[in-house]
Amino acid sequence: MSNSRFAVATHVLTSLALVAEDDPAARLTSEALAASINTSPVVIRRIIGRLRAAGLVVAQTGRGGGAALARPASKISLLDVHRAVDEPVLFALNPNQPNPQCAVSCRMKDVLGPAFAAAERAARAQLARVRLSSLVAALRAPRA
């Protein structure tokens, strides 16, 4: 099962960062963001709610409202974004009790757990290194 909240939230924040470079007072509406992402404004409002709760965006409802970054793009990592919108664990083990009559089931957490833990550490470290500002710079650069 795939979850795209992280990708959508990163798209939202990157869009906000791009417009902020051109006009620091600019705000984007959920409708404008939804059109860019090709999704529903309701989905965007839910994502913005999570981003606001995490202190990554400020949002104003009503006429003249919209969302903007709460801090500079250089101060927002992809790990910040992930923490704001997704589950706390990237690689989850099966939460069900093992079947005591199955040798695989009884040991799967023991053998898979270390691999998942190492992958989790590596993924979090990489997400922490990537700043929203680097995504903006990559978007501004000419295509190769």
Q: What is the pLDDT of residues 55-102, one digit of tens each?
A: 999 999 888 889 999 999 999 999 999 999 987 888 889 999 999 999
What six digits make up the tokens of 29? 């509406």
The model's confidence at residue 3, banded by pLDDT at 50, 70 and 90, is confident
Can you tell me the mean pLDDT for 11-38? 96
Global model pTM greater than 0.95: no
**130-137: average pLDDT:** 98
CB atoms within 10 A of CB 105: 14
Mean pLDDT for the chain overall: 94
What are the residues whose beta carbons fall under 8 Å from the beta carbon of 34, sequence distance 6 or more?
A: 40, 41, 43, 44
Average pLDDT over residues 115-125: 95
The pLDDT of residue 11 is: 98
The pLDDT value recorded for residue 67 is 98
The pLDDT value recorded for residue 86 is 86
Residue 110 burial (CB count, 10 A)? 9
Secondary element (H or E) of residue 98: none
- From its phi and psi, is residue 134 left (phi > 0), alpha (psi between -120 and 50) or beta? alpha
By C-alpha distance, which of 39, 32, 15 is closest to 136?
15
**In the chain, % of residues over pLDDT 90:** 85
Strands of 34-107 (E only): list them: 57-60, 66-69
